[in-house]
Amino acid sequence: MKKMMMIAAMMVATLSANAQNEVGQWSLQPKAGINIAKMTKFDYNKTRPGLIIGLEGEYGVSKNFGVTAALLYSMQGVKQEYSESINEYGINISAGAKETYKLDYLNIPIMAQYYLVKGLAIKAGIQPGFCVSKKYDGEGNITIAGQTIFSDQEKGKIEDAVNAFQFAIPVGLSYEYKNFVLDARYNIFLSKAFKDNDVNKLVGVADSRHSVFSITLGYKIPLN
């Protein structure tokens, strides 16, 4: 047991010795990357890839601990694709639909990060977000024996269906090399994306929440 405790203490000392931060340093980091976004409560859930871009500031509290705050434009939402075919009396009948919920946010993640080794940090925090774009794009069709008998397309804003505010807990990892920072994080959303109204209840999405994994590349610029 004593040997194990000594080894653990040596590991902690090594991690601290290899820490990345400079105490009292302020830095700015322009960053951009990709979101892999989904939403819960959708039966035919598919990812909606989207852009994430913004600016992050960091303050070095200690040699291995820092605090960050950012303003990020984040493209979120979900895609759905549905298709079904049956054959009745030798006649093929098929129906299909595609939907995309395009929900974009201004997110403000405020995070604490701990440098495990030089350049490598784990991080977690809180993230309020404000929806700035609420759009829907859908199409559906029915065919009988290869002939389309029904087709419909719908596009537009869905202002009355989506909550304006979101709250999430972001967690992740980052690695810094020569001022370039590769960041991967997952956002755990605690608030519902849609309003609790009769229409959303009817289609089964009133309790839906975002699920977003992000990868960004940034460049760290020291300010002092």
Q: What is the pLDDT along the chain (224 residues), one digit of tens a residue?
A: 445 445 444 444 444 444 456 788 899 999 999 999 999 888 778 899 999 999 999 999 998 999 999 999 999 999 887 666 667 666 776 666 788 889 999 999 999 999 999 899 999 999 999 999 999 887 765 666 565 554 556 677 888 889 999 999 999 999 999 999 999 999 999 999 988 886 667 566 778 999 999 999 999 999 98
| Topology given in CATH for the domain delimited by 20-78+103-133+162-222 | Porin (2.40.160)
In three-state secondary structure terms, 17 is helix
Q: Is 218 exposed, middle or buried (0-12, 13-18, 19+ CB in 10 A)?
A: buried
Give the start-end residues of each E strand in the chain: 26-39, 45-46, 48-62, 65-88, 91-107, 110-117, 120-144, 147-157, 165-177, 180-189, 210-219, 221-222
